[in-house]
Each structure stands twice: as structure tokens, then as C-alpha cells.
């Protein structure tokens, strides 16, 4: 059976409008507005304590917002109790009933539907098949691995065809290999069902590979809501730039006529207006390391390097008007091996990938 036939609801948008929340005097969410498209997979990503779990719990109705509204499609569910909100939820701990078989755990998800016992059993089996677990439906949870238990919990959450799927760090209790496999499977399942999904994670790699869009949160606010690629290459704020991946920052004396000045060097930069002292941001993989000087290159000296498999990540000391600083740059393994790391190098930074932020180092 096609996954889409098992999930009967129409993909529905989720809108969060101006949601705020305080615990006593601690304001943990500040005026959050977020529009999730029908069938979209959105990750709430941010450091510990930024408010992502509280936001998920508010969407689920497990916590009450102080201000703001929540809509599922046209329905205002701002004050609806959890059982009227039509979502499936999956937590870090699988929360299966230890005294019930796998099949009965999944069937429990259907308890509130008016179904014949034989239909419940049939659907539970189909859901187990859907999540790749059709082995032994009469096994008990403690006879399964962590990854298998999480699949059962997923089958239980999806069994009633909820309109919305909420995931709270669902893979963080699993070991790295299982987690990686489950990421891909979960993403594929979500896409084949077309179920609108919100997942909380503090793991940026997980968010990058799974989400259609990521909401990066910091201190109760959304700093940026965008595709993984834009979050990575076009960060809206220094916080996002630093939270995701590795970042390089250079103090510039100013930008004039498409050139960013860094001490004596002039780096070509695309689409940046003229301005005074500022900070330049770029990723390590957007820097090419050269062994000869040329106009537009920044001189430097290799001070350290890390082996990363197919490439090396070099730490290169460069001079700016604000002093010396370290730039990280990637180099293919073969080219690095042909290089004398004691010789000076020059950095060619992709002008399209060089971004300007206000501020001084
Ligand atoms: N029930 C509560 N009572 C009081 N304070 C709370 C409560 N729940 C959360 N908080 C506080 O709200 C803030 C946000 O917590 P939340 O769990 O939403 O963050 P998070 O981003 O999910 O963090 P983590 O990744 O560590 O789970 C924290 O300072 C937390 O201590």
C-alpha cells in the first residue's frame, strides 16, 4: 500500500502569530511568528534554553502561551485542549508501554477512533510495516533496540492520521549510526505522507539534512527562518553565522567600489555597498589557498592543520588593522601534501561568498 493511502488528512498549514511566554519573571518566548506550509518539515534549532521545547509544547497545547494565537489551517486552536488539536507527538524517550506488545502499543494510538477491533489490528500492522518494523508484532518494547522502539513510537504517533507531527529531539537517545539512518528514513516517510512537521533539535547537522526550513532560535526569539542552504551561506545575524558550521571573521577598514580593504589587501566583494569599518564573514570552504601572490589575495601563514579525510582544514594567521587573526580554510588532500606548510600562502576568497556585517572586532 502507498504511504499516502495510509495517511488520509489533507496537508495543512500551521501558523503561529505573536506568541509570547514567561515563567514567573523569565520571558522565554518573545513575540514568535512562524508560518509552516502544508507538508513542510520545519526544525526549531537553537542552544539549550532558547525556548524551542516550550514553543513545541505550546503548539501541542501542553503549555499555555501568555499572548499570541495558533492556527491549524483555518482553525484557531490557541486555547483548544491537547486532545482536540489533532497531532502525533514523538519525544526523546520512546514512552512506550512496557507491558503492552508492539502491536498493542501502536493500536493504543487508535484508541480514540471508533474502529472495529479487526480494523485496529489491521491498521497497527500496516503502520508497523510503514516504519519498517514488520518483524515481530508480539514482541515487548524491552526486547527491541532503541532504534526499533523509536520506530514503534513513530507508528503509534502516525496511526490516527494526525494533521500535524511534532517531534521533540526524537533521535537524541540513539547512537550515531542508528541516528543517521533514522534521519533519512524519517525524512523520507514525512515527505511520502506529506504531513506538516515541526521538530525540535539542538543538532545542526540533523536540522540541515532533515528540514525544508530551519527556524534558528536564540533567547526566546527567531533569529532567522529560512532554507538550510540560506541559513548556512546567507546567515542573517552573527549569532546564526556562528551557531551553524564554522565561520571566519575579518575586520575590514571599509568597502569601496566592490573592494573590501583588509590592512594592505583589497578583496573583491560582490554586491556590497560602500561603507566604513565593518566585519567580513565567510565559510572555510569558500577560501582557496594559493602559493603565489596576486591582486585581491590576502597574505597569511599556516599555523596549524587538521586532517578531515578527503581534505585538510588549515588555520592561517592573517593581519588586519585590528591585529592578527586566524582564518580557517579547506584544501584538498592532494594539494595540501604538495605544499610546504612553512612557506607563506595567499587566500583567494570567493567574492560571492563574502558577507558584510556591521561592527568591529
Ligand atoms: N515549566 C517551567 N517552569 C519554569 N521555567 C521553565 C519551565 N519550562 C521551561 N522553563 C525555562 O524556560 C527556558 C526555555 O526552556 P526550553 O526547555 O523551552 O528550552 P530549550 O531550547 O528546549 O532547551 P533544551 O534544548 O535544553 O531543552 C529555560 O530557561 C527553562 O529553564
pLDDT tens-digit readout, 112-136: 666 667 777 888 888 888 888 777 7
Contacts of residue 337, Cβ cutoff 8 Å, sequence gap at least 6: none
Domain ranges in the chain are 3-242, 249-357
Ligand 1 mean position to 147 CA, how many Å? Answer: 26
pLDDT digits (tens, 9 = 90+) for 245-269: 899 999 999 999 999 999 999 999 9
Q: So what's the pLDDT on residue 360?
A: 67
Q: What is the mean pLDDT of the chain?
A: 90
Is the CB–ligand 1 distance for residue 49 below 6 Å? yes
Q: Is the pLDDT of residue 111 over 90?
A: no
Q: So what's the pLDDT on residue 5?
A: 67
Is the CB–ligand 1 distance for residue 47 below 6 Å? no
Is the CB–ligand 1 distance for residue 21 below 6 Å? no
Between 341 and 200, whose confidence is greater? 200
Atom of ligand 1 nearest to the CA of 55: 18
**Segments in the chain forming alpha helices (H):** 3-6, 52-60, 102-108, 117-130, 146-158, 176-193, 204-210, 228-233, 238-243, 333-337
pTM value? 0.89
Between 20 and 188, whose confidence is greater? 20
Homologous superfamily (CATH) of 249-357 is Nucleic acid-binding proteins (2.40.50.140)
Mean pLDDT to the nearest integer, 285-305 = 94
Which of the four pLDDT bands, split at 50, 70 and 90, describes residue 298? Answer: very high
ipTM of the complex: 0.96
Is the CB–ligand 1 distance for residue 50 below 6 Å? yes
Is the CB–ligand 1 distance for residue 82 below 6 Å? no
Q: Is the pLDDT of residue 1 over 60?
A: no
Ligand 1 mean position to 55 CA, how many Å? Answer: 10
The answer to whether 34 and 221 have CB atoms below 8 angstroms apart is no
Nearest CA to ligand 1 atom 12: 28
CB count in 10 Å sphere of residue 25? 5
CA angle 317, 321, 326 (to 5 degrees): 20
Strand pairing class (67-72; 75-76)? antiparallel
- In CATH, the architecture of 3-242 is 3-Layer(aba) Sandwich (3.40)
Rounded to 10 degrees, the C-alpha dihedral 5/6/11/12 comes to 150
The answer to whether 283 and 349 have CB atoms below 8 angstroms apart is no
Q: Is 310 exposed, middle or buried (0-12, 13-18, 19+ CB in 10 A)?
A: exposed
pLDDT digits (tens, 9 = 90+) for 30-57: 999 999 999 999 999 999 999 999 999 9
Q: So what's the pLDDT on residue 286?
A: 94
Q: Is the pLDDT of residue 361 over 70?
A: no
Mean pLDDT to the nearest integer, 99-103 = 90
Amino acid at each position: 500500500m502507498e504511504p499516502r493511502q495510509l495517511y488520509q488528512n489533507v496537508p495543512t498549514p500551521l501558523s503561529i502569530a505573536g506568541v509570547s511566554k514567561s515563567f514567573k519573571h523569565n520571558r522565554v518566548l518573545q513575540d514568535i511568528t512562524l508560518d509552516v506550509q502544508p507538508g513542510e518539515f520545519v526544525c526549531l534549532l537553537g542552544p539549550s534554553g532558547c525556548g524551542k521545547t516550550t514553543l513545541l509544547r505550546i503548539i501541542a497545547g501542553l503549555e499555555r502561551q501568555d499572548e499570541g494565537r495558533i492556527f491549524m489551517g483555518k482553525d484557531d486552536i490557541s486555547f483548544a485542549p491537547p486532545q482536540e488539536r489533532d497531532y502525533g507527538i514523538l519525544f526523546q524517550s520512546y514512552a512506550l508501554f512496557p507491558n503492552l506488545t508492539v502491536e498493542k502499543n501502536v493500536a493504543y494510538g487508535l484508541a480514540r477512533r471508533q474502529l472495529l477491533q479487526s480494523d485496529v489490528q489491521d491498521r497497527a500492522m500496516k503502520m508497523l510495516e510503514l516504519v519498517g518494523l514488520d518483524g515481530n508484532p508480539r514482541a515487548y518494547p524491552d526486547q527491541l533496540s532503541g532504534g526499533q522502539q523509536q520506530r514503534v513510537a513513530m507508528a503509534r504517533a502516525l496511526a490516527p492520521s494526525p494533521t500535524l507531527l511534532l517531534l521533540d529531539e526524537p533521535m537524541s537517545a540513539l547512537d550515531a549510526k542508528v541516528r543517521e539512518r533514522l534521519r533519512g528514513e524519517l525524512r523520507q516517510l514525512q515527505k511520502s505522507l506529506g504531513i506538516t512537521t515541526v521538530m525540535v533539535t539542538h543538532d545542526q547537522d540533523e536540522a540541515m539534512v532533515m528540514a525544508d526550513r530551519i527556524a534558528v532560535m536564540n533567547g526566546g526569539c527567531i533569529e532567522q527562518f529560512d532554507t538550510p542552504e540560506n541559513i548556512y551561506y546567507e546567515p542573517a545575524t552573527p549569532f546564526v553565522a556562528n551557531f551553524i558550521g564554522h565561520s571566519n571573521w575579518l575586520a575590514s577598514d571599509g568597502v569601496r567600489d566592490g573592494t573590501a580593504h583588509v590592512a594592505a589587501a583589497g578583496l573583491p566583494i560582490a554586491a556590497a555597498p560602500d561603507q566604513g569599518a565593518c566585519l567580513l564573514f565567510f565559510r572555510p570552504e569558500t577560501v582557496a589557498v594559493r602559493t603565489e601572490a596576486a591582486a585581491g589575495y590576502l597574505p597569511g601563514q599556516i599555523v596549524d592543520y587538521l586532517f578531515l579525510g578527503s581534505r585538510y582544514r588549515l588555520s592561517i594567521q592573517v593581519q588586519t588593522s585590528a591585529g592578527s587573526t586566524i582564518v580557517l580554510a579547506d584544501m584538498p588532500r592532494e594539494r595540501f601534501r604538495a605544499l610546504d606548510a612553512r612557506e607563506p600562502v595567499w587566500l583567494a576568497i570567493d567574492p560571492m561568498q563574502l558577507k558584510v556585517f556591521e561592527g568591529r572586532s
